[in-house]
Amino acid sequence: MTSVWNEKIFSDGWRAGSGDPIAVVAPGSGTRLGAVGAATPDDLDRAVASATAAQREWAAAPYAARAGVMLKAAQLLEQDPERLAGVLVPEAGSGQGKAAFEVGLVTSELQEAAAVASHPYGEMLRSVKKRTSIARRVPLGVVGVISPFNFPAILSMRSVAPALALGNAVILKPDPRTSVSGGLALAQLLEEAGLPEGVLHVLPGGGELGGALVAHPGVPCISFTGSTAAGRKIGEAAAPLLKRVHLELGGNNAQLVLPDADVRAAATVGAWGSFLHQGQICMTTGRHLVPRALADEYAAALAEKAAGIPVGDPAEGAPLGPIIDEHQLDRVAGVVDRAIESGATLAAGGGHDGLYYRPTVLTDVATDNPAWTEEIFGPVAPIHVYDDVDEAIDIINASEYGLSVSILTSNPYAAYELCDRIESGAVHINDATVDDEAVVPFGGVKASGVGGRFGGPQASIDTFTETQWITMQSRIQQYPF
């Protein structure tokens, strides 16, 4: 796996970082794949200075030049998807199908970013004076991006690509567990596509570096994707500095099975929503709400699905791979143990072999059970039985999170009418909670996010530019003194 990034950071080219190299380890096998360079706050200072200088020229370039880099990167990835998928599988523990899907998302994000570069960026305003009045969007300058381990490539690129396309420079700090697939592999791709030196810096590192990035006076915007707990700390640190902060945070997403739903079809959606990528997705289905009349049939169907999914090394073709590390494994196992102690019944799974945790189904889950109230970030499907739809909606909205909700029914229009009552950034009728597209303004409400949206031209422009008001008149204005 050794490549140009081995023991390197990406900052004005490939060079050694000032910190001790970070080992790249495959969670599935424990194999050491290599090492990446580690950046320090001193490296960050140099990167910010470089990015600030490079950003001016990058922003002044014709939009077609910025769009061209994005399109070239997309083309390179389409021609050789294995350059990214081949890293996602071992480093992030991604199943091969999930890795291929993620590569497709990254490609789409690059293509959409190219379109954003040519999108109208201002408007003519009316004025009480005889003058031209314009509101235009201008780049923020240097955007700091902090990305997580679970979908590392797309959750980095969906900030990096539109920020670059709109004329910003970017400093990316990927999760240290996925520094290659979440950062250095993307830098290599964009470098080959012609991105000028200094416009993008990828600095692997841990919490100290992330804190320095948030606090740096030369970085006016932070785009963070990760846990709600970490997001709160970033918000607290950035608030006194009056920084623009975009927080895309956790979720405890509900799947509402309505009484008229096809049970076996609903179980298929539920299995995908809860078990894809070992449940390590912010949009993972963490709560299954099922009407009493369908509860036994649904639980049996979902347990059958769980029991039939192969779990193993994704490099050998298993669709479900490992939990990212021992710490997260302990958390998943601990929540399941506490759930059973609190009265839940284990219908499937519940065990693990090393980091490989079996898809797990829990029934008899009360609304105060830890498996119901907490974001587990593992392949666990808790089921709660409801008696009427009003009760179910109240249960959905009782969560502090509001990212994604799934409604499964034979009457989609009736489900659409329920959306007014559901507190969620996304509602998918007859589809899973796990769903995202580059053209969609994606984000959550409540504890699931604040400060902007990913995707779509208007959301990208709102998130990664600032408004500047300009007026112009033919003669110098005359005043009485």
219 domain-assigned: yes
pLDDT-derived band at 2 (thresholds 50, 70, 90) equals low
Q: Are residues 364 and 382 in the same domain?
A: yes
Confidence band (pLDDT; 50, 70, 90) for 3? confident
CA 47 and chain centroid, separation? 24
- The helix or strand, by DSSP H or E, that contains position 59, with its residue range, turns out to be helix 41-60
Structural domain including 336 reads: 253-429
Kindly tell me the sign of the dihedral angle through the C-alpha atoms of 106, 443, 252, 211.
Answer: positive
pLDDT digits (tens, 9 = 90+) for 138-173: 999 999 999 999 999 999 999 999 999 999 999 999
Handedness of CA 125, 129, 131, 135 (dihedral sign): negative
Q: Which residue has the tokens 């998928």?
A: 85
Q: Are residues 206 and 293 both part of a single domain?
A: no
- Tell me, yes or no, whether 214 and 303 share the same domain: no
Q: What secondary structure does DSSP assign to 78-130, as a single string?
A: HH-THHHHHHHHHHH---HHHHHHHHHHHHHHHHHHHHHHTS--EEEE--SSS
Provide mean pLDDT across the span 414-430. 97
pLDDT of residue 456: 85
Residues 76 and 215 in one domain: yes
Please report, rounded to a whole number, the percentage of residues in the chain having pLDDT higher than 70.
Answer: 100
Amino acid residing at 4:
V
Spatial contact of 455 and 112, defined as CB atoms under 8 Å apart: yes
Are 226 and 270 in a shared domain? no
Instruction: For residue 390, tell me if it sits in a domain.
Output: yes
200 shares a domain with 112: yes
| Residues tagged active-site | 248, 282
The verdict on residue 4 lying in a domain is no
Residue 105 lies in a domain: yes
Do 18 and 81 fall within a single domain?
Answer: yes
Domain annotation covers residue 440: no
φ, ψ (nearest 5 deg) of residue 202: -115, 115
Tell me 213's DSSP state: H
pLDDT digits (tens, 9 = 90+) for 335-381: 999 999 999 999 999 999 999 999 999 999 999 999 999 999 999 99
